Structure 1
Amino acid sequence: MDNTQRFTAEAERTPTNRLVERLLADRHSVPLSIALHIVPGALIVAVYAFIAAPFTRAIGYPPFLAWAIALTVVLYPVLFGLLWLGRRRTGRSSLRGVLHYLDKPFSRGRIALIGIGLLIYMTVVALALVPLDNLVYDAAFTWIQYEGAGGSATTYLDGYSQQSLITTLLICLPFTGFTLPLIEEFYFRGFLLPRLPQLGRWAPLFNTVLFSVYHLWAPWTVLSKIVFLFPGVWFVWRKHDIRATIWMHPGSTLVGTVGGIIALSMGAI
């Protein structure tokens, strides 16, 4: 290729094409990866503060619904962005070629057992570490004063009628109860984690820490999230099977949301 041809080829690489190339590269730089981990969390906080919280306050519903709205507004476009990248790579809207760890090296039965074990671990440890969340909140984050802030696992729901709580959880069930955590697993574990080969065995810890920090709306939970998320993230990185954390993360939120609805309906809480 002579200089004229090389110049023409470079000119044809539009900013959009260069962005696609950077995002779909086998390796993301550490600064790029940090930005891709944290920016969605910042957008979620912004949507909550300026759109979702005023709306739920106006209709008298818990802040949990506001966070569900904010997460939906940000994470569904993230999913559509991944599908768009798939279309740019393969010619059709698909996560294949964009996400890694989809090859299913384990049988369904075996990965189900592993996933259920991780689900139980995450649920039990997350509940056990609520006192740690309270301690960190009281020590460092009492200056965060938005409605629902606090270390308790139910703070976003406290102080509302049983009917409004049940309605809120039923509305949120298909979203915060499953699909939004599923999108998070696709994005953080299937898209970002595999593109950190330069970090070697530190990649799963890096991903776990940044995913925990991504929850900017609850920074007092970062330590506990690292503890209960890391085994699943490490497993996915080591064994290349994203189904493990799909069982663990969306599975845990689904169980928790359904359990909350049942408990409220029976008057147990």
Structure 2
Amino acid sequence: MFADRANLFHMENTQRPTATEATRPNGIVERLLADKHSLPLSIALHLVPGALIVAVYALIAAPFIRAIDAPIFAAWAIALAVVLFPIQFGLLWLGRKRTGRYSLRGVLHYLDKPFSRGKITAIGIGLMVYMTVVSFSLVPLDTLVYDAAFTWIQYEGAGPSATTYLDGYSQQSLIITLLICLPFTGFTLPLIEEYYFRGFLLPRLPQLGKWAPLFNTVLFSVYHFWAPWTVLSKIVFLLPGVWFVWWKHDIRASIWMHPGSALLATTGGLIAVSMGLM
């Protein structure tokens, strides 16, 4: 009898999970929603979307756009949308898994709004102007890097100039395409990138401490596989905003900076094309 009890006690203890096992994330949802991503997982989550965007562009979007003789930058808009919209839905789906409804709450961090609307607007506008001015001022750096290491990349529209992808198309075609793309490449897609990279991935790197913003910025810059010559300049003009979001836990700053700058640049480009300046 005592032997039976001893055997039963031994079986219960061998089958009972340890404290470490009980708290270890099980399954993809738990791993994604964990407070800390492992570095290999984080690197993959940063870079795989960029690889998918290039694949969609090369295999689907570019052939389609060439077939209808539209400006090639529309192919990148399509590729970005095909990859980023499912990512946004994936974040909402994770929210449903955590809260029971489709929501970004519980999935994204840095949503607590520690600053007043007026103060974050002023900060955001400053970051937006900084990103816009610095990104254009660093075009010579992009040119230097492109000429030194990336002239072998010869897809249509490739090059360090911010307007290379506009060359060779009629004004009417450019205006129509820019108007169609404006709501997407000018705001919605950069907004999804901020939700994903700054709201979802950045907060889950506590093991890196103060280096997390740099890690996130570098990988986000590399994620743009279609323009590797811009990695250095992207790090320069993105890092202040990313660091501020990490420091103050307010994602609105980078939303002002990145989608705001994209909207400003795209709108400015549309106006310039309409006036015959480009």
**Superposition TM-score, scaled by structure 2 size:** 0.91
SS at match of 2:168: coil
Match of 1:209 in 2: 218
Match of 2:241 in 1: 232
Letter of the structure 2 residue corresponding to residue 266 of structure 1: M
Distance 1:6 1:67 in 2: 52
Q: Deviations over 1:106-161 (max 9, x none)?
A: 00000000000000000000000011111111100011111111100011111111
Runs of 4+ in 1 over 6 A off after TM superposition: none
Letter of the structure 1 residue corresponding to residue 56 of structure 2: V
The Cα shift of 1:268 comes to: 2.4
Q: Deviations over 1:175-230 (max 9, x none)?
A: 00000000000000000000000000000000000000000000000000000000
Identity %: 82
The Cα shift of 1:2 comes to: 3.7
Match of 1:160 in 2: 169
Specify which of 238, 247, 253 is matched with residue 244 of structure 1: 253
Match of 1:267 in 2: 276
Match of 2:115 in 1: 106
Specify which of 80, 86, 91 is matched with residue 71 of structure 1: 80
SS at match of 1:173: helix
Distance 2:139 2:121 in 1: 27
Letter of the structure 1 residue corresponding to residue 221 of structure 2: S
Specify which of 128, 131, 149 is matched with residue 122 of structure 1: 131
Match of 2:8 in 1: none
Match of 1:10 in 2: none
Distance 2:111 2:58 in 1: 36
Specify which of 242, 264, 272 is matched with residue 255 of structure 1: 264
Q: How does 1:79-228 map to 2 (within 5 A)?
A: 79-228=88-237
The Cα shift of 1:61 comes to: 1.2
Task: Give structure 2 stretches of 5+ with no counterpart.
Answer: 1-10
Distance 2:31 2:246 in 1: 21
RMSD: 1.6
Match of 2:4 in 1: none
Aligned residues: 262
The Cα shift of 1:93 comes to: 0.3
1:28 equivalenced with 2:37 (yes/no): yes
Distance 1:84 1:17 in 2: 17
Moved more, 94-103 or 140-149: 140-149
Distance 2:78 2:138 in 1: 26
Match of 2:66 in 1: 57
Q: Deviations over 1:71-117 (max 9, x none)?
A: 00000000000000000000000000000000000000000000000
